[in-house]
Amino acid sequence: MTHLIPYEVYMSEPPKSSEDGTTTYNWALKQRRGHSALYAGIHSLDKDWDSYYVGFVGQISDAEDKPIEYSSYTEELKKSVECFLLKKKVVPVFLEDELHHGHYEGFCKTVLWPLFHYILWDTATDGRQENHNWLQYCAVNQAFADKIKEIYSPDSLVWIHDYHLLMIPRMLRNALPDAAIGLFIHAPFPSSEIFRCLPQRKEVLDGMLGANQIGFQTYSYARHFISNCTRILGYESTPSGVDAKGSLVSVGPFPIGIDAERVEEQRKSPDVATKMAALKEMHAGKRIIVGRDKLDLVKGVIQKLHAFEKFLSEYPEWQNKVVLIQVTSPSFTESPKLERRVAELIAQINGTYGSLEYTPVHHLHSLIEQDEYFALLSIADIGLITSVRDGMNTTSLEYIMCQQENYGPLILSEFTGMAGSLGAAIMVNPWDYSGVAKAINDALTMSNEEKQNKHLQLYRHVTIHTAQFWAKSFIKELVQCLTSSNQTNTTPSLDVQSLLTKYKQSKNRLLLFDYDGTLTPIVKTPSQAVPPPEMLEALQKLTEDPKNTVWIVSGRGQNVLEEWLGSIKKLGFSAEHGCFLKYPESDKWSNLTEDIDMSWYTDVEEIFTYFTERTQGSSIERKRSSITWHYRQADPEYGAFQAKECQNHLEGAILPKLPVEILLGKKNLEVRPTLINKGEIVKRLLTGMQEVDFVFCAGDDRTDEDMFRVLKRTPDFNDLECFTVTIGPPTKKTLASWHVSSPEEVIQTMKTLANS
């Protein structure tokens, strides 16, 4: 388990020095407030897993409870703290104060936290400082990743928590390709219209997609994440997640709960009963509405006060009969302006509707003890939560647990993370003050039978979907996700040493390369996929070897291939998926479609034109023997929808009548003659090269599978030394025997062969 929650360590007694010069330390952990749901969940896994917790070592204090400066941390002190924490199965990460400040206060709290809660930043920001904080954010994530690698074993599961550590999954994936990695986000996740404002949006999404499974509090947050991946990164999505370059990352909702047994035990404490009696006496004859929130903009305290004022105005019969007890705890992003506004509103309400005997709003701005908190929840007649954006809000769940005798209704903002789980609560829009006022009146006038029925539904959910249930559900899904992916045939990484050995032993070689996605990365604008110099150099060297016959087998047109690669005279070309051939050292192109009926072309062009006019960002690429509709620059979701509609139209109007087929490419649809494909070209080349004893074939998409199929299934070619290589992750469905992860690896392999 990996999270940023600090482990605060202090000396239980002064250090003792021995005669040999060593120092003995005695350490203890400070009691931490909050995060009880997270702790309960992850600790419940200890029975089934040998769990270790990688966490930041926060404040270290001496025996007088004075903080020890990081500059005073000796290696001996660090080692002592590490040994102490390891006994508690905590693996510590030590961070310099400046680095931690830039990561946490700098990037997490001033950039990510506001953004995730739909708050855009002040325009008057220091760009250099923001970039510095981003680098510190990455450095802290790298420190955590390095610590995880130290204790990682092949049978480990790594579970990373929250937005403070979003880069770790990719860092671990690059270092440990087969690692099992889960990521859970406890905060909301914004829509693409908000998230795209983040300058580092691509890096953050890519960092998250290093995980096997990503969990969110609600379905809407999971949907927002998937939408961000399609709109910002251009990845395809599936019902179960995101296809990140062929690797399926599972994405789904996992609503967190609370430790129901712990709350049940604590609410029955004698101290709680004493405080309950005192509160009841203090507010005798009054109906009590309770709110407990951090004093953040997103917690909706201002909206709650406005709604309560509206309630007293529109339902005057409740004046002098209802009080709002609002507890606000200090927030990290404390705002004097917000605190002042809250105080002004409370003074306004109490001044308008209060008297010497009646104070409508009681406000306490401080942390309260646990027994006071549970006493307050237990004596309430209504729980009122009006967050304008919230990740989870466990107060609502604790309120339900404390209302087993009173059955007080819960009024819950529809913008909280718990809204989707607590259907029996009274849902409100916190911006609709009249609506919230009506909900308060409805809750106060609700019959005992209805209150009891609603409470039982809520109680049943809270006691079933606990923090322990959440943790076990997430890990169970992660294991199933890994198991299902392991049941498919994973493609091994290319064995370059074996390839090199067979290459050297062979005498007559055929080397086949796709172009886009194989020799160059996929780009949004096809005309920008120009060949890099090192690829041209490697191709030139390979063609100069008399034992090699090298072909580019591409969907590109003749003119583009000649413009980019025509300078390499001994290179063979297959254009438009095999419709046109140009043999090495020849100046003539052969048209394999001369005898094929092309009357379908105009009909398909009309259909593509129709969809192009209605899909902004789409375009048509016209070739001599095929025609392609591209939608890479269109809105990802709308483009995919239009592509499906276009495909259905083609299949209904064109395919039944004419000898053509539809190729579903990467953000494109291509229509071509049925009898021409890359596999047929491979057959033709092999037939013309009777003495060939070695084939290397590399490609990345579905059209290249035709080549792999021929080389794998045709009995006549079984005596060949064949290396079929796909570009993508090992879990990609393919007929190829090997895989590499990127075009850069293909070029590196070409250079290795050329230099041999």
Residue positions annotated with a catalytic role: 514
What crossing angle do the helices spanning 395-402 and 370-379 adopt, rounded to 10°?
Answer: 60
Measured CA angle at 583 (ends 721, 716), to 5 deg: 30
Contact 674, 660 (CB under 8 A): yes
DSSP for 142-170, please give it.
Answer: HHHHHHHHHH--TT-EEEEESGGGTTHHH
Q: Alpha carbon of 299 to those of 181, 293, 294, 389: distances in Å?
A: 32, 6, 7, 7
Question: Tokens 């705890």 correspond to what residue?
Answer: 329
Q: Alpha carbon of 441 to those of 308, 379, 419, 565, 587: distances in Å?
A: 10, 18, 20, 76, 87
Query: Cα–Cα distance between 424 and 454 in angstroms, integer?
Result: 5
Written as one letter, the residue type at 383 is: G
The CB density around residue 229, as the number of other CB atoms within 10 Å, is 26
Q: What is the three-class DSSP state of 383?
A: strand
Count helices and strands (H / E) in the chain. Answer: 26, 28
Closest Cα to residue 720, out of 505, 519, 526, 556?
505
Query: Cα–Cα distance between 41 and 37 in angstroms, integer?
Result: 6
Contact 478, 212 (CB under 8 A): yes
Contact 262, 36 (CB under 8 A): yes
Q: Alpha carbon of 408 to those of 287, 299, 320, 383, 426: distances in Å?
A: 11, 21, 20, 7, 11
Cβ contacts of 86 within 8 Å, gap of 6 or more: none
Contact 353, 267 (CB under 8 A): no
Pairing of strands 247-253, 213-216: parallel
DSSP for 438-450, please give it.
Answer: HHHHHHHH--HHH
Phi then psi dihedrals of residue 748, to 5 deg: -65, -40
DSSP for 461-516, please give it.
Answer: HHHHS-HHHHHHHHHHHHHHHHHHHHHS-PPPBP-HHHHHHHHHH-SSEEEEE-SB
Q: Alpha carbon of 445 to those of 87, 291, 453: distances in Å?
A: 55, 19, 15
Strand partners, 411: 384, 426
Cβ contacts of 667 within 8 Å, gap of 6 or more: 234, 630, 631, 632, 639
Query: Cα–Cα distance between 154 and 156 in angstroms, integer?
Result: 6
Which two tokens mark 121? 């930043």
Q: Alpha carbon of 157 to those of 148, 160, 178, 439: distances in Å?
A: 11, 10, 11, 45
Query: Cα–Cα distance between 110 and 112 in angstroms, integer?
Result: 6
Residue 102 DSSP code? I
In terms of residues, how long is the chain?
Answer: 756
Give the side-chain half-sphere CA count within 13 A for 14: 3
Closest Cα to residue 739, out of 446, 491, 414, 481?
491
